Amino acid sequence: MSEAPAAKYATRIEVEKGQPIRVMPVREHLSLATVTWGHLSRIVPDPRRAEDPKALPYLSAAEREQAEIRNEIQRMIHGTKKKENAKDYAQYIANGIAGVRGESWATPPFALWIPQELEHVEAAGPFGVDHIAYLPFDASGVLMDAETQHLAHILLSENPALYGITREQVTSRLVCVEIYHGIPLSAARQIFHDRNLLGVIPNKNVALNSDSNDAATSITFALMDRVLLPHPLTGQEVSLKSLVATNKRQLKIADPEWMTLSTLRSFTVTMIFGRSGFEKTSGAVTQQDLPEGYNKQAVEDAIVQVASTLFRGFADHFASRTSTVIAAPAVLAALGAVGHRCMPWSEAPHRSTEELSALLSDVIWTRDPEIWNGIAGKTTASGALSVAGGVKDNGSKTATALEDAKSPTFARIRGQQSPAQQVDPPTDSVVS
């Protein structure tokens, strides 16, 4: 007669808690498992849907939340090589499934993030202890790695005949999954960053988005959450986060956001360092780089106060970014450099947020080449103003125009005569 299982082991599977899957625990919040790709596809929806603004209104609240989180972690598909890579990847997997490649093929494990912590139990099995995790029936997750492989499987399932296989072969394929569960979004972003650092390097904006260890990036994310302002279309109070594109290299004309993450991060860097920050915007900023005597929280608090004043005060100009210069990378970085004088760690002379608002109140932000040529941009052959120049090219010139009253550009961007242009009024001749 066999012995009864020890009391510490589960004696039955509680299916009401979710779908049981056999796992191999690695550490507290990481387990390994093998599942069919069809099972994985029910946990991780088609990532293309998260990028389709026409599809989002038709998603459930839970699906929209998943899409928003996915867009915060992963790089974009549309407009990148990822889409084309997925097609080649699909053919590679199809050849493997069909036996064309023999044993000479492999795919890496999927790195799956599930926000909630999964309950694990141990059960006595014939060959030792089995570890079981309960996967909630409504579980939804985001891939921190291998999303291109996931998209390749989706392409195969949509048109298997094109690749010479069946849909059942795709959905029943066993895949290895690393399940990261119960860790915060910031940790998931960091894992994405670290996993991609030595592989195909993401664009600068995506890399900055992911590197939670970077002090400037961390402060920028805090700004996005803490700076509140009325939405330009609805008038409802929203966070700045809703107006920042966190996964795009640059904005298109029709995009509703005001700026990209890297542009806002440049503002953060120059707020911290002043004009010397123009040279630091493309590099890492560590905790040790922060002003002496100020920790990250203190720096964040000071910047939030000034940023709130600027973004609320000039919201209409930011909302009209295609016809103004204020949201151009060099101009926003220059605003940060000018706002640096409001920081408690800046060198004298200091200025208050009220003085900053007054200083900028009469600036003409219209994208007019007669005003901004040679400052925030250059006049093109067609007569328009191009603000494509980088922060290092135009940041200092723009900051001078914004705050140096002795500079002729200070008067020019305010529609005033510069001191050099002013002449004494003519006087009548006096005959003695």
pLDDT at 199: 54
* Block residue for tokens 């790195």: 111
pLDDT at 431: 39
pLDDT at 432: 33
Q: How distant, in Å, are the alpha carbons of 107, 145, 336 from that of 41?
A: 16, 15, 44
* Block residue for tokens 């904006």: 205
**Planar angle of CA 29, 34, 35, nearest 5 degrees:** 110
Whether 311 and 240 have beta carbons less than 8 Å apart is answered as yes
pLDDT at 73: 73
Query: Where do the H-state alpha helices sit in 283-367?
Result: 296-313, 315-319, 329-339, 353-360
Torsion sign (Cα): 389, 393, 398, 399: positive
* Block residue for tokens 């600036």: 363
Instruction: Please give the model's pTM, rounded to 2 decimal places.
Output: 0.63
Domain boundaries, the chain: 17-197, 204-412
* Block residue for tokens 């099995």: 125
pLDDT at 107: 95
pLDDT at 2: 41
Q: How distant, in Å, are the alpha carbons of 42, 304, 342, 403 from that of 354?
A: 53, 15, 10, 14
Whether 218 and 304 have beta carbons less than 8 Å apart is answered as no
* pLDDT tens-digit map of 323-358: 999 999 999 999 999 999 999 999 988 999 999 999
pLDDT mean values, one per 10 residues, the chain (432 residues): 50 84 95 96 88 77 79 72 86 94 92 94 82 91 92 96 96 97 91 71 61 86 95 88 87 91 95 96 89 96 97 95 95 98 95 97 96 93 87 94 96 81 47 36
